[in-house]
C-alpha cells in the first residue's frame, strides 16, 4: 500500500492551483509528462497543462472553485473528486462573452504516482448543459 495521502495531495492541488487561480502552482503537483483528459481530449505535458489552466481561467470572470467530496482507493493510486465551479461567462465553452453567471459540476479521477506526483487526470463535466444555457441567452 502507498503511504502518501492521495486525498490531501489532490485537495492541496485544488486549493493552490484552482482556488488560488495560479496555473504555475501546478508544477508543484504534477509530473513533467502529466496528462489531463478533458472531454475526451488529451492535453499532454506540464507546460501544456499550465497553459490550458491559464486559458480556462481567462474565460471566466469571478471564478470560484469548490471541492464537494474527494476520496481515494485503498492503495492511494486513484483519487475521485466531485467539484463545482461558478463564475461569469467570458467566452467559456465557445459561448459569446456575456458575463452571464453559470455553475458547472464535474468529476475528476486522478492517477497518483508512488512519489505523490499526479500523473493523469480524467475530467468529466456538464459542459453541454452549461453551453446550452449560455447559448440560449
What domains lie within the chain, and their CATH numbers?
4-136 (3.10.450.50)
The pLDDT score that the predictor gives to residue 4 is 65
- Residue 1 pLDDT > 80: no
Q: Which helix (H) or strand (E) is 46 found in, with range?
A: helix 46-58
The reply to whether the predicted model has a pTM over 0.85 is yes
Q: Tell me the C-alpha distance between 54 and 69, whole Å.
A: 24
Cβ–Cβ < 8 Å for 131, 95 = yes
- Nine cell digits for residue 74: 485503498
The pLDDT score that the predictor gives to residue 95 is 67
Q: Tell me the C-alpha distance between 34 and 70, whole Å.
A: 20
66-86, pLDDT tens digit by residue? 999 999 999 999 999 999 999
Cβ neighbours of residue 48 under 8 Å, at least 6 residues apart?
none
Of 65-74, 86-95, 116-125, least confident by mean pLDDT is 86-95
Q: Tell me the C-alpha distance between 84 and 105, whole Å.
A: 5
The pLDDT score that the predictor gives to residue 125 is 87
Q: Tell me the C-alpha distance between 2 and 55, whole Å.
A: 34
Amino acid at each position: 500500500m502507498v503511504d502518501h495521502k492521495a486525498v490531501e495531495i489532490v485537495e492541496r492541488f485544488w486549493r493552490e492551483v484552482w482556488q488560488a487561480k495560479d496555473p504555475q502552482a501546478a508544477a508543484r503537483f504534477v509530473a513533467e509528462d502529466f496528462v489531463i483528459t478533458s472531454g475526451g481530449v488529451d492535453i499532454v505535458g506540464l507546460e501544456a497543462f499550465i497553459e490550458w489552466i491559464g486559458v480556462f481561467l481567462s474565460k471566466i470572470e469571478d471564478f470560484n472553485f469548490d471541492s464537494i467530496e474527494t476520496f481515494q482507493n485503498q492503495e492511494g493510486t486513484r483519487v475521485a473528486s466531485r467539484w463545482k465551479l461558478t463564475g461569469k461567462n467570458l467566452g467559456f465553452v465557445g459561448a459569446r462573452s456575456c458575463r452571464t453567471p453559470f455553475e458547472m459540476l464535474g468529476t475528476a479521477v486522478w492517477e497518483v504516482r508512488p512519489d505523490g506526483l499526479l500523473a493523469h487526470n480524467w475530467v468529466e463535466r456538464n459542459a453541454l448543459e452549461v453551453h446550452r444555457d449560455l447559448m440560449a441567452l
